[in-house]
Amino acid sequence: MSENRPKILIVDDDPDIRDLLNLQLALEDYDIIEAENGKAAIEKIISDKPQLMIIDIMMPVMDGYEACLKIRADPELAALYIIILSAKGEIKDKVSGLDTGADAYLSKPFNPEELKAQVRAGLRTAGDRHQAMYDALTNLFNRKSFNDLLLREVAMFKRDGQDLSMVMIDIDHFKNVNDSYGHDGGDKVLIDLAKVLRTVSRPRDLPCRWGGEEFAWLLPETNLEQATIAAERLRQAIQDHDFQGVSPQTVSLGVSMFRSGENDGEALCKRADKALYAAKQAGRNRVESS
């Protein structure tokens, strides 16, 4: 599969329908992946990260309605464009499908040209959504997305009591990088650091570019001690990383944990920022917690 080609997920329990959709889209420049039910579709979305999904309603294990509801409940999957393609063609069926979060609804038998046009329009919309959610340089979540994800995690803390920690990360003496290597060198450091952060992150972790040379790292189901260990692991990985064409880099990190009785994530962010300031004041290239 090509990294540059759009990925489309086809979800139907009927292999003949999946083959037909594959055939109709074969001449377009898409990578096609498949799933046979809603549960398998969600697993594919997480692992393969398609931009668009075409999904049937009536399927075993998990139907299309439930799959759409689960996908739309996850802010990380908000960019995905969803087309329901179903034999259920009455108005009430279409209303139900769109109310679950689908973006478009087509009835079987479908018109191939209409399907292709819907896919093209859907991919444009998915691209716009991705641009709104992610930092263009590093492809990490941007600060707005981070705030949305933080609200979700705080709600989960209040509901389930699961731990939630955060790490603030600042590149040490980043101005010197731009002064010595220009903005291209600075951009390379930011891109490389984002790659290291993604490599160190677990599937549930949420790395973000906070702004400038600062990054934020949200760690669900993680207490302060565990988050401090994770931050130290990241600090070491960045110190050991070969920033080819640029001098070695280090980071300062501040760690905090969400506390019972707090209403939102504001205090969590302030404590992480306070700990980051302490790390910088103590000489940089270190982890502090608050």
pLDDT digits 0-9 by tens, 54-65: 999 999 999 999
Which whole-number Å values give the CA distances from 224 to 31, 62, 173, 206, 284, in the listed order? Answer: 41, 37, 27, 16, 20
Look at residue 192 in the predicted model and tell me its pLDDT: 98
Establish whether domains 7-133 and 143-289 are of one fold.
no
CATH architecture under which domain 143-289 falls: 2-Layer Sandwich (3.30)
Calpha distance 287→253 (Å, rounded): 5
Q: How far is CA 119 from the centre of its chain?
A: 22
Indicate the pLDDT class of residue 2, thresholds 50, 70 and 90.
low
pLDDT digits 0-9 by tens, 10-31: 999 999 999 999 999 988 889 9
Q: Could you say which of 36, 153, 213, 288 is catalytic? A: 213
The class that CATH gives domain 7-133 is alpha beta
User: Domains of the chain: which residue ranges?
Assistant: 7-133, 143-289
Mean pLDDT for 77-81 is: 94
Q: What is the pTM of this model?
A: 0.81
User: Is 213 one of the annotated active-site residues of the chain?
Assistant: yes
Share of the chain above pLDDT 70, in %: 99
Calpha distance 277→271 (Å, rounded): 10
DSSP string, 126-183: HHHHHHHHB-TTT-SB-HHHHHHHHHHHHHHHHHH---EEEEEEEETTHHHHHHHHHH
- What angle do the packed helices 15-25 and 112-133 form, to 10 degrees? 80
- DSSP class of residue 244 equals T
pLDDT digits 0-9 by tens, 160-199: 888 999 999 999 999 999 999 999 999 999 999 999 999 9
- DSSP class of residue 77 equals G
Look at residue 261 in the predicted model and tell me its pLDDT: 86
